[in-house]
Chains A and B, each alone.
With several copies, the nearest count.
Chain A
Amino acid sequence: MSNRHDYKVNLEVFQGPLDLLLFLIKKKKIDIQDIPIASITREYLQYLEQKNSINLEREGEFLFMATLLIYIKSQMLLPREEITNEEDPRRTLVNRLQEYQKIKAACSVLKEKEENQKLKWQRASLPSSKWREEEEFMEVSLFDLAEAFFSLMKRKEQENIQILPSKEVSLEEKMKEMRNYFQKHSYLDFFDYFNQQETIEEALISFFCLLEFIKTKTVMAVQEKPFHPIKVWFCNE
């Protein structure tokens, strides 16, 4: 058992089944164009067997590749004359491996460049405060746009959940406030004004005030047609 632990290579070090396959091919110095499917399948399965339990979410891909390998192996066992060269059952897999090999090569190039570039320090922002304000501008992509919107919505959501401490608004204060509003604007849009109120309580108090104003004929509520916006006019005699 302990022997087994010695050569145990953690499955986690592999980026995926292709990575593991490529590792086995390289280790055995196999020609990628002519993979001995039977032995590579055996090796591959040995790696999977090292795991006591399979985490389907992470290792499902490895299992899927195992099935594929077994399938290819069974195809290879078919009588020779039935397989022409173009129909080599390994073809698709070889193509994928070759493409993946290129990605790995590109990775090594990028890794080296990353290493080199990390030595050259660049400024993340400008020191001079004179230009900093200008620097706030950025080039944006679709992701930034969508992120801006959905972050905003999320923020909004959280705001709504918050229970606002009810602001104590007295009738007198509201009367005064509304009177000032009328004097300044000469008229008031019913819906707009109520929408601006911070709490329902405050909106209700405003409504009472408005009724009071109408009763004392300080203002006049006008609706041109049914369902049209209600405008409230200040009666200036």
Chain B
Amino acid sequence: MNEQLKNIIESLIFISVEPLSFEKIKNTLSEFSEEQIKKAIQDLRKNYKTSQKGIQIIQVGGGYLFSTKPQLDPWIRRLMQEEKKNKLSPAALETLSVVAYHQPTTLSEISALRGTDSAHSIKTLLKKKMVKIVGRKKAPGKPLIYRTTDKFLVYFGLNSIKDLPSSEELNQIIEEGKNEK
């Protein structure tokens, strides 16, 4: 019985994004007594503490939560760096979309369209080789001109920049997609 209860609680804590309070566990598992639940949580935490493991159950913010052990942080950080290689932040994605559809373009044009300074995003995209500098505009301040790269085309499976979905194609999708849900 206690084993089963331990497993249930383990899965509940695992699935919670916020610290799972004792109250909530108790309310969810109304067929078990408070003592049973307390005992199960205790045992569960002890298991994680004593056995060699990479994760643990911590008590935080008035509840229980799974977390990785602090000594493993350096490796996790490395993984995050690795993960970022092929990924984009929402800001970078938006910036990239402006470059893609408005190229050749400058930073001030991008920032104006997005309504927010995009210098950081452009830098990220340059580093990821999704955009490149192709020259300077003959305009005050001689701003740099950006274009998407071949790597960009490969990443999105395009043969040429002309193959980007049109506003009509997309509008339909966005509109109907909204009604769906």
Contacts and interface: CB of A to CB of B under 8 A. Distances in A.
Interface of A: 15-19, 26, 29, 61, 65, 96, 99-111, 113-114, 116-128, 131, 134-153, 156, 159, 189, 191-192, 229, 231
B46 interface: no
B42 interface: no
Nearest to A108: B173
Contact of A142 (B11, B114, B165): B165
Contacts of A140: 87-88, 93
Contacts, number: 224
Contact of B156 (A29, A121, A135, A141): A141
Contacts of B91: 15
24 contacts: A19-B116, A102-B170, A103-B98, A105-B171, A110-B96, A113-B157, A114-B87, A118-B73, A119-B73, A121-B67, A127-B66, A135-B17, A140-B87, A141-B133, A142-B134, A142-B157, A148-B96, A148-B97, A149-B98, A150-B167, A151-B174, A152-B113, A156-B113, A229-B139
A96 B98 CA distance: 13
In the complex, which of the residues A104, A131, A153 has the most CB atoms of chain B within 10 Å of its own CB atom?
Answer: A131
Interface in B138-181: 139-141, 149-150, 154-158, 164-165, 167, 169-171, 173-174, 177-178, 181
B119 interface: no
Contacts of A109: 164-165, 170, 173
B165 A192 contact: no
Interface residues of B, number: 68
A14 B94 CA distance: 12
Contacts of B56: 120
A182 B171 CA distance: 45
Interface stretch (B22-30, B33-41, B76-84): B76-84
A106 B98 CA distance: 9
A164 to B, nearest CB: 14
Contacts of B117: 61
Given A102-B174, A142-B135, A145-B93, 10 more contacts: A16-B115, A65-B115, A105-B165, A122-B17, A122-B68, A128-B67, A134-B83, A145-B164, A153-B167, A192-B141
Contact of B89 (A121, A136, A144, A152): A136
Given A15-B114, A105-B174, A131-B76, A116 B157 contact: yes
Contacts of A124: 17
B118 to A, nearest CB: 9
B85 interface: yes
B132 interface: yes
A125 B17 contact: yes
B100 A145 contact: yes
A125 B15 CA distance: 9
A147 B116 contact: no
A61 B97 contact: no
Given A17-B115, A147-B170, A150-B174, A117 B155 contact: yes
Nearest to A16: B116
In the complex, which of the residues A143, A147, A151 has the most CB atoms of chain B within 10 Å of its own CB atom?
Answer: A143
A46 to B, nearest CB: 19
A123 B87 contact: no
Contact of B73 (A96, A121, A126): A121
Nearest to A148: B97
A119 to B, nearest CB: 4
A126 B110 CA distance: 32
A109 to B, nearest CB: 6
A99 B170 CA distance: 10
